[in-house]
Amino acid sequence: MTARRRGKGEGSIYRRASDGRWVAALIMEDGRRVVRRARSRKDAAAKLELLLKARAEGQTLAAQQSTAAFLTEWLAVVKSIVAPGTFERYEQYVRVHAIPALGRIRLGRLTPQHFQRLYQEKLAAGLSPTTVSHLHTVLHGAFAEAVRWGLMPRNVAALARPPRKAHVEIVALTVEQARALLAAAASNRFEALFILALKTGMRRGELLALRWDDVDLDKGMLQVRGTLRRTREGLTFGTPKTAASRRKVVLSPTSMAASRRHQVGQDEERQAAGDLWQDLGLVFPNTVGRPMEPRDLL
């Protein structure tokens, strides 16, 4: 008995002469030809039925892509869009938490329950609610992109409920503590840095990226234009995250006086370093003019 010949659009099943493997093939709605390899004709027929069902339900070939493959591709795209430090956090959340739990699941089979289960497991493993909430934010953004790319009909991550972020109260230094810090920093190589941090509220990365071209001691002003971060590629200069972070700062008389003393001390260091000095114009470099490691200020 011969097999019934399939009609147009019903797909095909055939056996390859090269290796004897059975193949199921179907033209999807987007015009692409999808091929599934099988070990037997029965297996090929079952795979063709799945392809026909996927096409009838409007799924694309990409819905059969693994979550790990999609997240890896998404990371490659966002790497050129977000700041290095932000990308490093995204990559860590995806590599350490998302892919081990969800990576083998096909995009078309992901459900909100998968994400809910992931969050509960991470909380049980000791991650804080804030960290798990950040994980949810990263995945929400990634799968929103999957929807925009036409890989998924809806953002299943958006339907999961992340835990509430833990409330963290920011405790500022008291006047007495600030005075004690300044007293301890007196005559320190980076006394001016500590004074600027206290007086202006500048972040550590902003201070370490500050250049003399951004400082006008005659007018008592400085401009925050950059930030310094430690990434896997090394120390990286970048721009502040928001427009509000790129700002002008008025210097107090104490900050101006400390900055002038620091400038004189840096001139002496430059002369002492001689040819070793690398003039990058930084206000707070190391002893040979290179960027300072942020952790060295801890």
Give all strands (DSSP E) within the chain, no chain letters: 12-15, 22-27, 33-38, 215-216, 221-224, 227-231, 234-238, 247-250
Residues of the chain with pLDDT under 50: 1-5
| Spatial contact of 163 and 133, defined as CB atoms under 8 Å apart | yes
Q: Which residues contact 43 (CB under 8 A, 6 or more apart)?
A: 22
Q: Do domains 67-159 and 175-297 have the same CATH topology?
A: no
Convert the pLDDT of each residue in 24-42 to its tens digit: 888 877 666 777 888 899 9
* DSSP 8-state assignment for residue 233: T
Nearest to 142 by CA among 200, 69, 59: 69
CATH top-level class of 67-159: mainly alpha
pLDDT number for residue 265:
94
Domain locations along the chain: 12-58, 67-159, 175-297
Instruction: Please indicate, yes or no, whether the overall pTM of this predicted structure exceeds 0.85.
Output: no
Question: Measured over all CA atoms, what is the biggest interatomic distance in the chain, rounded to whole angstroms?
Answer: 99
Radius of gyration of the chain (CA): 29
- Residue 133, Cα to own-chain centre: how many angstroms? 15
Q: What is the pLDDT of residue 1?
A: 36
- Cα distances (Å, whole numbers) of residue 291 to 84, 104, 233, 251, 269: 17, 42, 14, 23, 15
Cα dihedral 88/92/98/103 (nearest 10)? 80
Overall CATH class of domain 175-297: mainly alpha
CB 284 within 8 A of CB 210: yes
pLDDT at 113: 95
Per-residue pLDDT, 4: 44
